[in-house]
Amino acid sequence: MKILVLGIGQSLRGDDAAGLEAVRLWQQQYPQTKQKVYVEFSELPGLALLDLLEDMQVAVLVDAVHAPDLAPGSLLHLGPEDLAAFDAGAQSAHGWGVAETLALGYSLHPELKECRITLIGIASSQFRLGTSLSCAVQDALVEAAAWIEKEVQGWLGGLAGKTNPSLD
């Protein structure tokens, strides 16, 4: 099974680096698992996200999200069915976000629907240029890495076609 773990974010914009840092921590904490999957980092994926998803069966995207109803550092797990409504309650910290890109990708490349995509979002609050992660987001990274591991292990364990129930 071809599984992609993708950390998304801008390293120089405070909490926006949460996805990048969560995936880096996951790589350090679970080195055996990372060898079984494809790992990528993207500062501003935009439409390049579609290229990263090409030929993948599963993609675990990790990104900072703007979710005003959640405390910074809260984690969200969005399955494929949730991503269509992603911009209603939580938005990517990027201008052209994951949900918009996927919607366009599904219309242009119907085969993309074969890739089971989930998003682990880290609620974030400050995105100023030149700042570091907020304490709340920094504190959430260990739990985010554990969520990545559970999601990947679920797929490696043969839960194809299902969202990992431990995260729902």
- The domain that contains 18 carries what CATH number? 3.40.50.1450
70 found inside a domain: yes
pLDDT per position as a tens digit, 44-97:
777 788 888 888 999 999 999 988 899 999 999 988 777 666 554 444 444 456
162 found inside a domain: no
pLDDT per position as a tens digit, 93-151:
444 567 677 777 777 777 777 788 899 999 999 999 999 999 999 999 999 999 999 99
Cβ proximity of 63 and 119 under 8 Å: yes
168 found inside a domain: no
Residues 6+ apart with CB under 8 A from 32: none
Q: Give the mean pLDDT of 9-30.
A: 96
10 found inside a domain: yes
Structure confidence at residue 113 (pLDDT) = 76
164 found inside a domain: no
Structural domain containing residue 22: 3-156
Structure confidence at residue 85 (pLDDT) = 61
167 found inside a domain: no
Question: Quick one: pLDDT band at residue 163, thresholds 50, 70, 90?
Answer: very low
Structure confidence at residue 136 (pLDDT) = 97
Structure confidence at residue 84 (pLDDT) = 61
25 found inside a domain: yes
Q: Which tokens hold the place of 161? A: 């076609």
Residues 6+ apart with CB under 8 A from 158: none
Q: Is the pLDDT of residue 158 over 70?
A: no
User: Reduced to 3 states, what is the DSSP secondary structure of residue 100?
Assistant: helix
26 found inside a domain: yes
pLDDT per position as a tens digit, 128-137:
999 999 999 9
Nearest alpha-carbon partner for 151 in 135, 140, 138, 162:
162
Question: Total structural domains in the chain?
Answer: 1
